[in-house]
Structure 1
Amino acid sequence: MSSEVRLLDALKGQPRTVWITAFAAVIAFMGIGLVDPILLSIATALQATPSQVTLLFSSYLGVQVVAMLFTGACAARFGAKRTLVGGLALIVAATLACALASSITELVSLRAVWGLGNAFFIATALSVIVGAASGGQQGAILLYEAALGIGLSTGPLLGAALGSLSWRGPFAGTAVLMAIALVLAAALLPGDAHAKREPVRLLDPLRALRHRGLLRTSVGSALYTAGFFTVLAWAPFVLQFSAVQVGLVFFAWGLCVAVAGVLLAPRLAARLGERRATVLAVLANAALLALMLVPDKPVLVVAVILSGVVSGLLNTLFTGAAMSISPAPRAVASGGYNFLRWLGGAAAATLVGHLAEWFGWTHAPFLVGALLCLLAGGLLALGADEPDTKEVPVEAAIVGEEL
């Protein structure tokens, strides 16, 4: 049965708990690309440099990465609903405050609070959907991945539409949508009183990285994710497009991420094996980043959109490889893997503006991103002696997308 048919089947007859959580997940994932179309507007309005503005990504991701090490223990202690609702409340407060910010320092700090709330919400959203969905776990996972894809693709659109009025608009709009999700979740999601809670120790995710194969895959993913956020955080400054134009470019990019992650990655892994497919895809990403060095805006637009296809493949393939290679429980291995993976993204978002300044060349971050992806490909190729699998387990593939 095709992935398209399974997804359509998964949409039928789901309880309201699933739809409420999936709706909130879409809004949460919007936050990753929401600020892309308004980066230039924020820089102008708040008199900030490009390196200061890209801190909007790094503060959001950096806090989220560290917080993900704590969210499993919090959910085990307080229950999934309390953790999820608490995360939503933090996001509502942070996004509303972002809309009222008066300086870039204030905005960057509030994005960090947003990242903290996002970590608590998204860390538990998947388990809520899987636990409540009808039709089995596989359909529930496809619903979650669909929410991921919709959020990544519509975030730039929302940012463009509201950002064309004011840079404050996307933050205010997100606050309203998240407030709706918060009220629905608090009122309608089942309580935690009878939920079974598995004990999770705080440092278990880091202990899982002692496994050589998982560590290699996680570091490789961190290098790729640095390239991913180089495109996301820096391309708007090179393109110098309007908010609407940037939003449309990254809408097409996000759509490619979603389609490739859901439909293409499992087929590629089944044909080539997870590791081989991952190596080829990360090398293709290096080639696209190198293409972005061409000083021609139409070429850059095409390369950015095509990088969405490769990113969709890698988001699924890297996670599938990490989960299949580690003997640790899936949730624990995923925690350690995601910590390193998104740490790479936070570091890249912090450094891209400085790289352009240090090299005196606007396109320099793309060159560094390409070299990091080449390094990732070489690192993964060193694991040729490790067992390979022929397909990505759907549930494993999406556990790593909890950020």
Structure 2
Amino acid sequence: MSERSSLTSQPAAVYAVAFACVVSFMGIGLVDPILPALRDSLEASESQVTLLFTSYLVVTAVAMLVTNAVSSRFGAKRTLIIGLVLIIVFAAAAGSSGSIEGIVAFRAGWGLGNALFIATSLSAIVSSARGGFAGAIILYEAALGLGIAAGPLLGGVLGNISWRGPFYGVAVLMTIALVAIAWRLPDTGRPPERTSLAAPLKALRHRGLLTLSIAALLYNWGFFTMLGYAPFPMDLGITQLGLVFFCWGLLVAFFSVVGAPWLQDRLGTAVTLYIAFSAFALDLAAMAIWTTHAGIMAGCVIAAGIAIGINNTLTTQAVMSVSPVERPVASAAYGFVRFIGGGLAPFAAGRIVEHSSVHVPFAIAAVAVLLAAAVLSTVHRTLAVADEQLRHPHTEADDDVRGEVADEFGGASGAIDEVVHSR
């Protein structure tokens, strides 16, 4: 079967995990349409409301450091179930809260469950999906895109009833996902070896993984500035915001699954990412200029889905390709760094606006994304070698891969062998 095999020919267990991924990723954009409503209903400042993103994503980032240790002690299925239970409990608690401080605190607990789920679900899909590694990443990103698209739409529909509705909606959907995983995902037991708590931080000593993670941190600064703060200057109703971010999410999904592989085949990973980063930076620059024009802002948000869909798929695939450590450890290390950027950006945007103007956060975000492209360029050759190995696995190119990886990672023969033979 092709590396980019059909999304319709997977085992039932993969679909169960993918459905849970869709619901999990709904949590990212779910609160977008209700951010202004939360500000007004709970008499909170914009920077306080953006803490819903910050508490959620920063806790997700830090918790990424322990996900592998937990999974190696409890097994993948039990870890997924623990993560889902935490999300259900804290999403329902957030919906029942009566203060912005309470919602922010419960979103932090939600982030803990999300970290356990995200890191483990990616490795579960990669290990169970048919069609090889690239096909599994595309399937995962398809779930991400659908979740990101559906989240704002659901948030808009339920938010029109009450700002509490989106939180309760996630709790219900995650309960369904919990039942599906408990029923369909086989229990593979505990791994033969336990992963140490320090493994993700040690993995960041590898130049390729660290460089891509830093690029992702900068890119996520731009991404979550847009996602977490753009709803305020647009000044639209709940339904209108839901539709804007729904259209954005549809483009994320399409370009994650269709656009990114097509461009990668023709231009290569590095060149495609340079173009996508540059396009996103220009989009953010336009937001910085026309921040107070609701129509232009809405168009820029929707258009950003193109670059974000491409970036999400190819950066995740690149991290998994160049890292000389096990993929779950690489995922945790990468997630830790990138979610730090995503978590701090919305809160920083709110604080910056309080002390300067509404245009400045988007200008800073544009510069951050351009810096991401510059950082990425320092591992251009490594990405080119990974592309070649993806197209022609297990060929004489192994010797070239070995040489390139030795150059990038300092030569540890065991790590080099693992990279060469795992691709």
TM-score, normalised to structure 1's length? 0.89
Corresponding residue SS for 2:384: coil
Query: Corresponding residue for 1:90?
Result: 86
Given candidates 84, 100, 103, the residue that maps to 1:104 is: 100
Q: In the alignment, is the contact (CA less than 8 A) between 1:205 and 1:336 conserved in 2? A: yes
Q: Secondary structure at the match of 1:190?
A: coil
Residue of structure 1 in register with 2:398 after alignment: none
Report the more deviating stretch, 156-165 or 327-336: 327-336
Which position in structure 2 is the counterpart of 1:397?
none
Residues in 2 aligned to 1:282 and 1:142: alpha-carbon distance in whole angstroms: 19
Aligned with residue 40 of structure 2, among 39, 44, 55: 44
Contact 2:260/2:309, CA 8 A, preserved across alignment: yes
For residue 199 of structure 1, report the CA deviation from its aligned partner: 3.0
Q: Does 1:347 align with 2:341?
A: no
1:326 alignment partner, one of 323, 327, 343: 323
Q: Does 30-39 or 260-269 show the bigger shift? A: 260-269
Between 161-170 and 349-358, the greater mean CA deviation after superposition: 349-358
Distance between the aligned counterparts of 1:217 and 1:265, measured in 2?
17
Pairwise mapping of residues 139-288 of structure 1 onto structure 2 (< 5 A)?
A: 139-193=135-189, 196-288=191-283
Of 51, 71, 80, 2:76 maps to 80
Q: Deviation at 1:217?
A: 2.0
Pair 207,174 (structure 1): closer, same or farther in 2 beyond 3 Å: same
Name whichever of 153-162 and 268-277 sits farther off. 268-277
The reply to whether residue 120 of structure 1 matches residue 120 of structure 2 is no
- Give the drift of 1:36: 0.2
What is the CA distance between 1:129 and its match in structure 2? 3.5
Distance 1:129 1:386 in 2: 25
Question: Quick check: 1:298 aligned with 2:312?
Answer: no
CA distance in 2, matches of 1:188, 1:2: 25
Which of 300, 308, 329 is the matching residue for 1:311? 308
CA distance in 2, matches of 1:308, 1:181: 26
How far did residue 110 of structure 1 move? 0.1
Aligned length: 388
Q: Contact 1:79–1:197 at 8 Å: present in 2 too?
A: no
Point out where structure 2 has 5 or more consecutive residues left out of the alignment: 392-423
Q: Is the 8 A contact 1:256 1:312 kept in 2?
A: yes
In 1, the alpha carbon distance for the partners of 2:19 and 2:368 equals 35
- Matches of residues 373-384 of structure 1 in structure 2 within 5 Å? 373-384=369-380
Hey, what's the Cα distance between the residues in 2 that align with 1:47 and 1:86? 34
Specify the SS of the correspondent of 2:68.
helix
Report the alpha carbon displacement of residue 188 of structure 1 after superposing the two structures with TM.
4.6
Contact 2:119 2:331 in 1 (8 A): no
For 1:358, the equivalent position in structure 2 comes to 355
> 2: CA distance between counterparts of 1:225 and 1:392?
28
Residue in structure 1 matching 2:21, options 5, 20, 25: 25
Equivalents in 2 of 1:49, 1:118: separation in Å? Answer: 26
* C-alpha deviation, 1:136, in angstroms: 5.7
1:35 aligned onto 2:31:
yes
What's the Cα RMSD here?
A: 2.3
The 3 A distance-change label for structure 1 pair 324 and 6 is closer
Instruction: For structure 1, list consecutive stretches of 5 or more residues without a partner in the other structure.
Output: 395-403
8 Å Cα contact 2:33/2:156 also seen in 1: yes
Deviation digits for residues 224-244 of structure 1 (CA, Å, limit 9, x no counterpart) = 100000010011001010111
